[in-house]
């Protein structure tokens, strides 16, 4: 019995207005609840009145509700099994209202009808529907006016889950040909009907190792054993490219360059008091779900950044929301559970104007979403995830390049806060003990997100599984998060905790079992969203919003009661042991029995060879631009430079009440490169965060790309007031074609630069992550095979702690009459600059970082900011001096009279002076009264007076002191905001 | 004696900690209480003088912002809330808390807080003019606070509007002030009817508002504090530490002293 409640807005529906704008046609929206349960008429009326607001809404029960005039109706709902958050809330409310419980088969489903009133053909409407829904997670039905009238509505189909798969455990015969072994590894275990279950991402060497392990045991593996090993050994989980030997680097890139750098830096810093390079603030690095540094005597700050690229390519909204909510769990899963306090984001997309089609499959099948749709979906996803969770998301960036068309990059990060000690014990140390219950907390398990870990370890192609998409439910996670970090943690109710991310239970339980020495899981106890899942699916599903905990037996009752009180589901699914085995049973039958040693350390090393060839670049002959004004105004509109206020204004950056330096600064609301947050309201201390990403330089040399990314992340934070001696870094490598020796050579160079530059700066890496196969294989709009790889991309995130958050500086000019200085040198480093990219000019002269010099400069600026000598400060990055001058002017809505005649550095041409992207530069303005003090602190650091702040116009004289640019600040503002004006 | 403030939490409300901090800083004793602990009588509303429904995303705004949480209150706590407000007590609902109060029907008029005109979640600062003499707003004429909401547009029919006006129930309106002029922003951020940002009941003791006073407790929360700091320093004036939001909480404390 399906009851349909349809709801229409009585007042102008702003959602319909927005959709009208998008479609260019008059639109009416009707929301639908379909309740698959029998009720009395009175009950139905009560439910309806509870679910709706009579002031603004009109409703109907079991009769269609439509506008008088319309030509087509499109109803969009979810596919079977896809998490429907609104429906879940509705059923919870109905149960509470009527004091009833929904039985297994009884459920609520939501959908939405878009009525269009325009003269359209059926084909037109299909096109419109396609722009409104994503077939991977949703379904659409279309009716004409006549059909709707004839049927008296849209009908009441509901997406009930019907799984008819066999739940029996299959043995997988590994005594097969090498070809078949390769196929099992690449495409998955064969079903009886010949279809395959989806990628295991196990290559032949791995498959042979597994084969010989089970051969010694005298049996074949079960499907769950093979799936489980695949998850644990996946590139996504084990990061073999960073850990296996590469060329003569026996210990691998991570240990040799990243971890080693941090260890060396920590040794130069003192543990107590002050040394010339500051204190060793690292507390927990590279060993937990996040890295942690000391905040003050009582608290630690954690940080972690992740990517969620592949899922975001399939469904941008779901991919992004589960990305951000997922990285929040890396905070909850740090130590005994840290509280998420700041989100970061960063997106790499193809140009939003690119509307040419790409297909994953042959014959124009499996169409990829267009760049603009991916971008808007990703923006929405992070909006929902961050805002719903009550975590501020102040800091982010956008990078655009056509090579992100096959796979967008979606970076998400979370900063956390945790007391150093809980119950007198170190909060960052945790250990599951033999005998502790294995407890799963939070959401239930469904088919969503199966093969996510192995999928992201492969290139995207027609075999990419649709089930790899997970749906986010931030509120379920919020309830879980609050119950853990605000209550259970303080009560000492568990010994260990970790996140259920990639690989689901198979990874989280097996990982925690390392602490105790083994585990015994009773898989039938895992609560499911719907019946019919095979055991291997339950074990590896990446259904969201779940944590795994080790709860001592004597605390289980209290823990369970607390969780129940907070509306959080908690279930004992097994027990941690010291058996040295990972054993899984299903209804008393052992279906997995693998030694912990083999599971975690059995994978063979795969030594890699690199073959790096320095790309050759012709030095273009550059004609002097006729009109520098036009050029600069044009650059301000460029996707990689322009303001993205529409995003900053929809991401809550005020929640938790600690916002200090905001994402939009000054009168002109310019996007900031660094933001400052006060994590503890009882303390004046602040956290400064920023990011550096320069994929374009990598086209010339990934070594300098990495160096520039580090300098950018450090410089942005320093410009806002950070002390370089109290600054930590994180690395996120997003690479492509990582089997190719040249790509590995590029990787090696980039990682080497991370070592070199972090050591000079004394800025330790505390956490990192990589995603190595951001490649697309498919077909273009003519059906021709095409492969697209992202440019090697490295995101460096910076995190600094300062004693007084009021000693920070924004980028906006403050007062006419103030003096403007440039710190740092400008050289003719035009390679891969925005200026050169704009005109397709090439040059191999990529910016190079002079870390020793820069460090002195950064320390001097910190001194000045501590003494309140700096009125405004802006880091010079993409677009060079010209763009930075424009941005600081727009932010302050003030002009400047500046001359480049004393510009430090070797640059010889005006256009190069304005648009070179030399690193290590910051522009500041100061109160004239502070001149003496400022210049004294700067001493012999490269620094030059450029001019003064004036009222309305930015005037720039060139190297020979002739006027090269003049524009009203209002015109600069217009250009800077024009690109995303209507977004 | 310090008044006791109960700050409700649970099901996706998320501003309870900063709201508690605001009450504590203002001189009250803030106590965060999960709604289920009230339902199960682990805590008693009658032990408190102030009830705060803080901001957040209760139930993810599913079935309409504030609606599901209001239903839970109606189903389990309605009588306790009734007897609480009949006494000389104060109630505040901030943002999602205001949406909950609106759905609860605790105000003597029927209105809705619905999707912003932009149909998008909006985060910015607004300038506000105080319109009635609610105990929460004593001595305040104008103030600036941040907003962050997707469904903050107040809608009411003409009858309700004239009742709101006649009975002095309109507490705050969006106006053009310091922040709007500084950042060149339109005063009304969401299309709210007659620029209404907050209302009270007839007594002024039950107060609901979309802006977040608890996010404006410090000078360094202001969007233009870096500019003001420079200005004050040059004028040789002291740089303040406190933000504009604290006064509301102080008023609540003052009411009971």
Q: Are residues A782 and A718 part of one domain? A: yes
Residue B86, C-beta contacts closer than 8 angstroms, at least 6 positions apart: none
**Tens-digit pLDDT profile for residues A505-527:** 999 999 999 999 999 999 999 99
**Tens-digit pLDDT profile for residues A706-754:** 999 999 999 999 999 999 999 999 999 999 999 999 999 999 999 999 9
- Do A964 and A956 contact (CB within 8 A), yes or no? yes
Question: pLDDT grade, residue A192 (50/70/90)?
Answer: confident
Q: Which residue has the tokens 């060839």?
A: A613
A657 to B221: CB separation less than 8 angstroms, yes or no: yes
Kindly name the residue from B95, B131, B151, B180 that is annotated as catalytic. Answer: B95
Give the per-residue pLDDT at A416. 97
Q: Are residues A259 and A224 part of one domain? A: no
Q: Which residue of B has its CA nearest to A340?
A: B14
Q: Are residues A814 and A801 part of one domain? A: no
Domain B4-217+244-255, CATH class in plain words: alpha beta
A566 to B34: CB separation less than 8 angstroms, yes or no: yes
pLDDT score of A671 more than 90:
yes
B15 — contact with chain A (CB < 8 Å)?
Answer: yes
Q: Give the end-to-end CA distance of chain A in Å, rounded to a whole number.
A: 43
Kindly name the residue from A122, A243, A308, A638 that is annotated as catalytic. Answer: A308
Put residue A335 in one of left, alpha, beta given phi > 0 → left and psi -120 to 50 → alpha: left
Q: Which residue of A has its CA nearest to B120?
A: A650
Residue A193, C-beta contacts closer than 8 angstroms, at least 6 positions apart: none
pLDDT score of A687 more than 90:
yes
In a domain, A774, yes or no: yes
Q: Are residues A199 and A120 part of one domain? A: no
Q: Does B15 qualify as catalytic in the annotation?
A: no
Cα–Cα distance, A882 to A913 (Å, whole number)? 8
Q: Are residues A654 and A784 part of one domain? A: yes
Q: Are residues A786 and A692 part of one domain? A: yes
The stretches in chain B having pLDDT less than 50 are none
Q: What ranges do the domains of chain B cover?
A: 4-217+244-255
Q: Are residues A198 and A105 part of one domain? A: no
How far is residue B168 CA from its own chain's centroid? 17
B123 to A652: CB separation less than 8 angstroms, yes or no: yes
Question: pLDDT grade, residue A298 (50/70/90)?
Answer: very high
Give the per-residue pLDDT at A137. 82
pTM of the model: 0.95
B112 to A388: CB separation less than 8 angstroms, yes or no: no
Q: Which of A896, A819, A313, A308 is nearest to A544 (CA)?
A: A308
β pairing state of A674-677 and A659-661: antiparallel
Question: pLDDT grade, residue A530 (50/70/90)?
Answer: confident
Of A760, A784, A805, the residue at which a domain comes to its end is A805
Residues of chain B numbered 176-205 and touching chain A (CB < 8 Å)? 182-184, 191
- Do A115 and A30 contact (CB within 8 A), yes or no? yes
Give the per-residue pLDDT at A200. 87
Between the ranges A62-71, A114-123, A162-171, B136-145, where is the mean pLDDT highest?
A: B136-145
Pick from A86, A474, A871: which is nearest to B230 by CB? A871
In a domain, A570, yes or no: no
In terms of pLDDT, which residue wins out, B132 or A165? B132
pLDDT score of A472 more than 90:
no
Which range marks the domain in which residue A745 is found?
247-430+599-805
Mean pLDDT of A129-133: 89
In a domain, A894, yes or no: yes
B114 — contact with chain A (CB < 8 Å)?
Answer: yes
Tokens of A295: 């905040």
Shortest distance between the Cα of B29 and any Cα of chain A, in A, equals 15
Q: Are residues A265 and A205 part of one domain? A: no
Residue percentage of chain A with pLDDT more than 90: 79
**Tens-digit pLDDT profile for residues A621-662:** 888 898 999 999 999 999 999 999 999 999 999 999 999 999
Q: Where residue A401 sits, what CATH number does that domain have?
A: 3.30.1330.10
Give the per-residue pLDDT at A502. 84
Give the per-residue pLDDT at A40. 95
B64 to A473: CB separation less than 8 angstroms, yes or no: no
Rounded to 10 degrees, the C-alpha dihedral A969/A971/A974/A975 comes to -100
Mean pLDDT of A182-190: 88
Domain count, chain A: 4
Element (H, E) at A378: helix A371-389
Question: pLDDT grade, residue A287 (50/70/90)?
Answer: confident
Q: Give the Å distances, CA to CA, from B156 to A113, B61, B152.
A: 26, 20, 13
Q: Are residues A261 and A226 part of one domain? A: no
**Tens-digit pLDDT profile for residues A896-927:** 999 999 999 999 999 999 999 999 999 999 99
Mean pLDDT of A574-591: 95
Q: Which of A614, A744, A708 is nearest to A253 (CA)?
A: A744
Q: Which residue has the tokens 């740089």?
A: B239
Element (H, E) at A886: helix A880-892
Of A757, A778, A805, the residue at which a domain comes to its end is A805
Question: What angle in degrees, to the nearest 10, is found between the helix axes of A741-761 and A260-268?
Answer: 10
Q: Are residues A823 and A693 part of one domain? A: no
Q: Are residues A919 and A869 part of one domain? A: yes
Of A784, A805, A826, the residue at which a domain comes to its end is A805
Question: pLDDT grade, residue A531 (50/70/90)?
Answer: confident
Q: Which residue has the tokens 């010989």?
A: A212
A53 to B14: CB separation less than 8 angstroms, yes or no: no
- Do A10 and A56 contact (CB within 8 A), yes or no? yes
B41 — contact with chain A (CB < 8 Å)?
Answer: no
Other CB atoms within a 10 A radius of the CB of residue B233 amount to: 16
- Do B145 and B215 contact (CB within 8 A), yes or no? yes
At B129, give phi and psi (nearest 5°). -115, 135
Q: Are residues A186 and A60 part of one domain? A: no
Question: pLDDT grade, residue A555 (50/70/90)?
Answer: very high
Q: Which of A699, A771, A704 is nearest to A731 (CA)?
A: A771
Give the per-residue pLDDT at B191. 96
In a domain, A26, yes or no: yes
Q: Does A236 qualify as catalytic in the annotation?
A: yes
Interface test with B, best of A657, A719, A927, A969 (most B CBs within 10 A): A657
**Tens-digit pLDDT profile for residues A939-971:** 999 999 999 999 999 999 999 999 999 999 999
pLDDT score of A540 more than 80:
yes
Mean pLDDT of chain A: 93
Taking one residue from A and the other from B, the number of pairs with CB-CB distance under 8 angstroms is 192
Other CB atoms within a 10 A radius of the CB of residue A431 amount to: 13
């Amino acid at each position: 019995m399906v009851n349909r409640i349809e709801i229409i807005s009585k007042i102008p529906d702003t959602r319909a207005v927005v959709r009208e704008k998008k479609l260019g046609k008059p639109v009416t929206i009707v929301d639908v609840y379909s309740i698959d349960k029998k009720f009395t008429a009175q009950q139905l009326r009560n439910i309806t009145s509870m679910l709706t607001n009579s002031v603004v809404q009109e409703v109907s029960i079991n009769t269609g509700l439509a506008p008088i005039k319309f030509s087509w109706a499109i109803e969009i709902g979810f596919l079977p099994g896809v998490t429907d958050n609104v429906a879940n809330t509705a059923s919870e409310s109905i149960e509470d209202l009527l004091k009833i419980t929904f039985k297994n088969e009884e459920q609520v489903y939501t959908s939405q009808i878009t009525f269009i009133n325009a003269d359209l053909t059926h084909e037109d409407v299909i096109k419109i529907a396609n722009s409104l829904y994503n077939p991977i997670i949703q379904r659409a039905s279309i009716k004409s006016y006549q059909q709707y009238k004839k049927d008296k509505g849209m009908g009441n189909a509901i997406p009930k889950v019907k799984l008819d798969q066999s739940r029996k455990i299959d043995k997988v015969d590994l005594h097969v040909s090498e070809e078949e072994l390769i196929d099992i590894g690449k495409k998955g275990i064969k079903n009886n009907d010949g279809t395959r279950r989806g990628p295991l991402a196990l290559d032949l060497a791995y498959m042979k190792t597994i084969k010989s392990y089970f051969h010694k045991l005298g049996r074949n593996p079960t499907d769950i054993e093979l799936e489980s090993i695949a998850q644990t050994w996946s590139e996504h989980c084990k990061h073999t490219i960073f850990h296996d030997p590469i060329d003569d680097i026996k210990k691998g890139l991570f240990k040799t360059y990243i971890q080693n750098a941090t260890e060396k830096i920590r040794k130069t810093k003192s543990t107590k008091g002050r040394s010339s390079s500051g204190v060793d603030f690292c507390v927990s690095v590279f060993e937990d779900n996040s890295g942690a540094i000391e905040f003050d005597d009582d608290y630690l700050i954690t940080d972690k950044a992740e990517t969620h690229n592949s899922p975001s390519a399939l469904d941008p909204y779901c991919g992004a929301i589960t990305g951000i909510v997922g990285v929040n769990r890396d905070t909850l899963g740090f130590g005994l559970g840290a509280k998420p306090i700041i989100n970061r984001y960063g997106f790499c997309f193809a140009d939003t104007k690119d509307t040419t089609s790409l297909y994953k499959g042959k014959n124009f099948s499996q169409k990829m979403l267009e760049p603009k749709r991916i971008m808007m979906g990703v923006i929405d996803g992070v909006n929902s995830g961050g805002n719903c969770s009550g975590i501020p998301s102040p800091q982010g960036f956008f990078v655009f390049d056509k090579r992100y068309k096959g796979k967008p990059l979606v970076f998400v990060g979370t900063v956390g806060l945790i007391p150093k000690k809980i119950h007198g014990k170190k909060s960052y140390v945790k250990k599951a003990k033999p005998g502790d219950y294995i407890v799963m907390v939070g959401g239930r398990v469904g088919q969503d997100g199966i093969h996510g870990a192995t999928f992201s370890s492969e290139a995207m192609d027609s075999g990419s599984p649709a089930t790899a998409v997970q749906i986010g439910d931030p509120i379920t996670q919020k309830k879980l998060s609050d119950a853990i970090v605000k209550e259970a943690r303080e009560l000492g109710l568990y010994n260990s905790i970790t996140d259920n991310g990639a690989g689901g239970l198979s990874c989280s339980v097996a990982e925690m079992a390392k602490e105790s020495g083994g585990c015994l899981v009773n898989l039938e106890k895992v609560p499911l969203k719907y019946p019919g899942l095979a055991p291997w699916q339950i074990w590896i599903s990446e259904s969201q919003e779940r944590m795994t905990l080790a709860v001592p037996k004597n605390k289980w009752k209290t823990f369970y009661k607390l969780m129940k009180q907070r509306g959080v589901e908690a279930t004992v699914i097994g027990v941690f042991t010291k058996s040295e085995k990972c054993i899984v049973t299903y209804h008393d039958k052992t279906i997995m029995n693998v030694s912990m040693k083999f599971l975690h350390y059995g994978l063979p090393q795969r030594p890699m060879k690199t073959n790096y060839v320095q790309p050759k670049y012709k030095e273009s002959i550059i004609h002097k631009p006729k009109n520098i004004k036009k050029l600069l105004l044009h650059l301000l509109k460029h996707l990689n430079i322009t303001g993205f206020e529409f995003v900053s204004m929809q991401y809550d950056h005020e929640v938790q009440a600690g916002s200090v330096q905001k994402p939009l600064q000054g009168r002109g609301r310019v996007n900031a490169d660094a933001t400052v947050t006060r994590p503890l309201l009882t303390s004046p201390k602040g956290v400064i965060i920023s990011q550096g990403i320069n994929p374009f330089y990598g086209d010339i040399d990934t070594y300098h790309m990495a160096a520039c990314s580090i300098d950018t992340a450090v410089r942005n934070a320093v410009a806002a007031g950070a002390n370089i001696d109290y600054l930590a870094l994180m690395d996120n490598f997003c690479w492509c074609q990582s089997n190719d020796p040249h790509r590995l050579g590029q990787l090696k160079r980039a990682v080497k630069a991370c070592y070199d530059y972090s050591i000079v700066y004394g800025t330790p890496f505390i956490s990192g992550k990589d995603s190595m196969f951001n490649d697309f294989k498919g077909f273009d709009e003519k059906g021709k095979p095409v492969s697209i790889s992202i440019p090697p991309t490295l995101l460096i995130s910076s995190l600094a702690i300062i004693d007084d958050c009021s000693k920070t500086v924004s980028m906006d000019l403050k007062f006419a009459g103030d003096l403007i200085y440039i710190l740092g040198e400008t050289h003719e480093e035009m390679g891969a600059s925005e200026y050169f990219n704009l005109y397709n000019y090439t040059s191999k002269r990529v910016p190079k970082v002079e870390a020793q010099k820069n460090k002195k400069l950064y320390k001097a600026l910190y001194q000045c900011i501590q003494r309140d000598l700096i009125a405004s400060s802006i880091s010079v990055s993409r677009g060079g001096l010209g763009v930075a001058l424009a941005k600081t002017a727009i932010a302050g809505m003030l002009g400047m009279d500046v001359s480049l005649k004393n510009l430090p550095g070797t640059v010889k041409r005006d256009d190069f002076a304005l648009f070179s992207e030399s690193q290590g530069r910051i522009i500041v303005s100061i109160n004239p009264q502070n001149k003496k003090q400022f210049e004294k602190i700067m001493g012999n650091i490269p620094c030059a007076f450029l001019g003064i702040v004036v009222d309305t116009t930015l005037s720039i004289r060139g190297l020979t002191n002739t006027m090269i640019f003049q524009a009203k600040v209002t015109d600069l503002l217009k250009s800077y905001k024009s690109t995303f004006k209507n977004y | 004696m310090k008044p006791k403030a109960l700050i409700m939490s649970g099901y996706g409300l998320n501003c309870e900690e900063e709201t508690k901090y605001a009450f504590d800083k203002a001189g009250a004793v803030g106590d965060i209480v999960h709604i289920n602990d009230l339902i199960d009588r682990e805590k008693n509303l009658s032990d408190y003088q102030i009830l705060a429904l803080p901001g957040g995303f209760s139930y993810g705004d599913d079935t309409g912002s504030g609606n599901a949480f209001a239903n839970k209150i109606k189903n389990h706590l309605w009588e306790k809330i009734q007897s609480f407000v009949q006494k000389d007590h104060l109630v505040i609902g901030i943002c999602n808390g205001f949406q909950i109060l609106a759905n609860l029907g605790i105000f003597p008029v029927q209105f809705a807080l619905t999707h912003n005109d932009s149909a998008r979640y909006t985060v910015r600062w607004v300038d506000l003019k105080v319109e009635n003499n609610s105990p929460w707003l004593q001595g305040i004429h104008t103030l600036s606070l941040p907003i962050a909401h997707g469904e903050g547009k107040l809608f009411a029919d003409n009858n309700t509007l004239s009742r709101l006006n006649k009975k002095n129930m309109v507490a705050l309106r969006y106006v053009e002030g310091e922040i709007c002029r500084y950042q060149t922003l339109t005063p009304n951020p969401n299309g709210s009817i007659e620029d209404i940002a907050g209302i009270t009941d007839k007594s002024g003791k039950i107060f609901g508002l979309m802006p977040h006073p608890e996010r404006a407790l410090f000078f360094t929360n202001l969007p233009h504090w870096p500019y003001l700091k420079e200005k004050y320093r040059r004028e040789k004036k002291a740089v303040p530490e406190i933000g504009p939001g604290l006064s509301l909480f102080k008023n609540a404390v003052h009411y009971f002293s």
